[in-house]
Amino acid sequence: MYFDQDVSWSVFVTAFVTRRERMVENQIAARGVTSEKVLEAMRKVPREKFIPECLAELAYGDSPLPIGADQTISQPYIVALMTEQLTLQGGEHVLEIGTGSGYAAAVLAEIAGQVYTIERVAELAKSAASILAELGYENVHVVHGDGTLGCPEHAPYDGIVVTAGGPEVPESLRQQLKLGGRMVIPIGSHPYFQSLVRITRFGETEFETEHLASVRFVPLVGAEGWAGEY
């Protein structure tokens, strides 16, 4: 992005706030997201901070954007939809699989009490942790590792959100979900085409699965995901 030296930085900050509000109204609320907690979280998190500076002008467009390492930051609507489907009320214990840039973790952190987020790409984990710390998200804990195995040392979780598509629901994640908890995850037989589903745990072996939308996420790679490199 090019900044004219005669224009103060505050002008750009104001412009981003205006675009963020417009994004929430036109791309998210207008498409059916009604949770006030989610809408307010989307209004607060500066998406421009989580993408390469050269793409800052595109921060509030209705599309995913590249963030390096062949990964993307999700479309804002999808982040809002997945967050809403966890039905968070505030103060919960949440696990995110696929930190990426850290944007979705920041949105979750505006509502949840503690957010643990796992990223398999070391450079992305390091970058996300730095941005989240800079923005003051002390309740987000970034872990570098295999997200398909979850983070058992901090389980069980009220909510789990998976931001990559797997061939099936990892059993490790099922078992780390609290009774009554919800998981939102893209699942499909093709690495790049999935059904976004919500899984609710009602008992030790009792789970309910609901279809939410057809989506396209990057593949969920790991011991309980797709094998190999994508």
Q: Where are the domains of the chain?
A: 63-215
Are 188 and 167 within 8 A, CB to CB? yes
Higher-scoring residue by pLDDT: 76, 190: 76
**Nearest-angstrom CA–CA distance, 79 and 210:** 18
- Known catalytic residue: 74? yes
Least confident of 11-15, 115-119, 134-138, 221-225: 11-15
Are 154 and 116 within 8 A, CB to CB? yes
Q: How much of the chain exceeds pLDDT 90, in percent? A: 89
Would the pTM count as exceeding 0.75?
Answer: yes
Determine the pLDDT at residue 3: 47
Fold assignment, 63-215: Rossmann fold (3.40.50)
Catalytic residue among 10, 63, 74, 101: 74
Determine the pLDDT at residue 12: 57
Average pLDDT over residues 23-51: 97
Which neighbouring-strand residues pair with 182?
159, 200
Determine the pLDDT at residue 4: 52
Per-residue pLDDT band for 192 (boundaries 50, 70, 90) equals confident
CA-based torsion, 207, 208, 212, 214: positive or negative: positive
Q: Report residue 52 as tokens.
A: 């390469």
